[in-house]
Amino acid sequence: MSDTVGASGATGRIGFEVLDWKPYTKNTLQAFLSLSLPSGMILHGCSYHRRNDSRWVGVPGQKFTKADGSVGYTPIVEFTTDDAHRRFQEQAIAAVDRYLGAQR
């Protein structure tokens, strides 16, 4: 884990860190994970997906049953802009790559 000391003298981590990786393969889903963020927040219940050359991390969602009986998910975490979502994805995928690289 990387640490830095800011102007205030407070120590904080740099970048996202993968915690609690649980492999689970179904369709595009490859694993469930928790992400530790530099803010000190931990997001539990994230999902890691892969399809061909595309990879993405899904944010936690709440499962619900639709009127037709099928299952849907509503996000618990949302992004206010497309740019914020893109930055999250970049940092989350980088954390996954570091985690998987360390497992080899």
Q: In this predicted structure, what is the pLDDT of residue 102? A: 84
Alpha-helix residue ranges (DSSP H) falling in the chain: 82-102
CA distances from 67 to 6, 61, 72, 76 (A): 51, 18, 10, 21
pTM above 0.75, yes or no: yes
Q: In this predicted structure, what is the pLDDT of residue 7? A: 36
Question: Confidence band (pLDDT; 50, 70, 90) for 103?
Answer: confident
How large is the average pLDDT for residues 8-35? Answer: 84
Q: Which residues contact 46 (CB under 8 A, 6 or more apart)?
A: 32, 33, 34, 35, 57, 58, 59, 60, 92
Q: Is 77 helix (H, G, I), strand (E, B) or coil?
A: coil
Q: In this predicted structure, what is the pLDDT of residue 84? A: 97
